[in-house]
Amino acid sequence: MTDLTGKIVLGSNQYGKAENRVVRIYRDSPRHEIHDINVSSALRGDFSPAHLVGDQSNVLPTDTQKQTAYAYAKTKGLLHLESYGLDLARHFVDDVEPVDGARIELEEYAWARAVIDGVEHDHTWTRKGEEIRTSAVTVEGKGDAQQTWVISGFKEMVILKSTGSEFHGFLEDDLTVLEPTTDRVMATSLTAQWRYTTTDVEWDAVYAGVKAAMIERFANLQSLALQQTLYAMGEAVLEKYPFIAEITMSAPNKHHFVYDLGRFGIENNLEVFNADDRPYGLIQATVEREDAPDAGSAWRTYSVVG
Ligand SMILES: O=c1[nH]c(=O)c2[nH]c(=O)[nH]c2[nH]1
């Protein structure tokens, strides 16, 4: 092995406050509204003095980033993840001199109004067991050169169909034991993220529309594999919204194995399953437009694997 003798330098870096749990209540009328989110900020720029010599003069503390997240929930409002994320990202880049890039990652936890004697309550909710809505906003550069990317999405959208799914005709080798099937349960806990080509979006309406298009395609396609279903779901979204450039999806195949009741002389006609939680097939795909504008920093996260 050859020893490496090159100079040691600072590589890519960013810093911020992760996972601020911000709950914003709108209480201007007796019927309150709630937005319950998790927001992480990360600032980018030349922060080498802080890393190399401990000079903090360009470092806006992560504590200040946290205070900004809370303050902006009041002063700018927190009605949509995306607009709030844009407010924060633009502030850090436009108003904090050493910052030339900001990434804001957000999740929202949905609450359902409590219904008491058939009437929706004004200020009591129960947490919805629904998917978690997500967004990632990146702003880079100052002034006219500024570029902005918005990704929206969800995670943990659990969806299941009890028929309309097949898997057969697959490649077999000496270790293949899987039986082909023309009728099986298909279930997944879907993560999806889609990239907008504009910030002029009705965030909530498009979110609902994307989700509806994906669910419709999952339900109505006679599936030959989860891969085919994922592609079709992505295609449905791009067909519906010309201002979405690409959608990337990750789908654990939540296997439902027909339970062997024959041992007890009991017939099981695809009625009783063992829902196994692991291992799971993990099917991942991006559906994109050939003419999609460059993704730039839209997907740039700072990931520490572990
Ligand atoms: O939809 C599926 N895709 C696969 O690639 C696969 N592999 C497997 O064992 N079951 C399934 N199901």
Helix (H) or strand (E) holding 212: helix 203-220
CA-based nearest residue to 106, from 29, 185, 6, 22: 22
**Buried/exposed code over 247-269 (b: 16+ C-beta within 10 A; e: otherwise):** bbbbbbbbbbebeeeeeeeeeee
Q: What is the pLDDT of residue 303?
A: 63
Separation CA 136–CA 41 (nearest Å): 10
Task: Tell me which of 151 and 301 has the higher pLDDT.
Answer: 151
What is the secondary structure of 228-269 as a DSSP string? HHHHHHHHHHHHH-TTEEEEEEEEEE--EEEP--GGGT---S
pLDDT in tens, 97-111: 999 999 999 999 999
Separation CA 167–CA 184 (nearest Å): 8
Separation CA 19–CA 256 (nearest Å): 34
Locate the ligand 1 atom nearest the alpha carbon of residue 225 and give its number: 1
Ligand 1: distance of its center to the CA of 154 in Å? 23
Ligand 1: distance of its center to the CA of 167 in Å? 7
Nearest CA to ligand 1 atom 8: 281
- Ligand 1 mutation pick, 165, 173, 226, max ligand atoms within 8 A of CB: 226
Ligand 1: lining residues by beta carbon, under 6 Å:
167, 178, 225-227, 253, 281
Locate the ligand 1 atom nearest the alpha carbon of residue 186 and give its number: 1
Ligand 1: distance of its center to the CA of 68 in Å? 46
Ligand 1: distance of its center to the CA of 187 in Å? 12
pLDDT in tens, 56-89: 999 999 999 999 999 999 999 999 999 999 999 9
Q: What is the pLDDT of residue 178?
A: 97
Percent of the chain predicted with pLDDT > 70: 99
Q: What ipTM does this complex have?
A: 0.98
The catalytic site residues sit at: 17, 62, 255
Locate the ligand 1 atom nearest the alpha carbon of residue 178 and give its number: 9
Q: What is the pLDDT of residue 2?
A: 87
Q: What is the pLDDT of residue 304?
A: 63
Three-state secondary structure call for residue 209: helix
Q: What is the pLDDT of residue 305?
A: 60
pLDDT in tens, 135-149: 999 999 999 999 999
Separation CA 289–CA 300 (nearest Å): 19
Q: What is the pLDDT of residue 306?
A: 55
**Buried/exposed code over 106-143 (b: 16+ C-beta within 10 A; e: otherwise):** bbbbebebeeeeeeeeeeebeeeeebbbbbbbbbbeee
- Rounded to an integer, the average pLDDT of 177-195 is 97
Helix %, strand %, coil % for the chain, to 5?
Answer: 25, 35, 40
pLDDT in tens, 230-269: 999 999 999 999 999 999 999 999 999 999 999 999 999 9
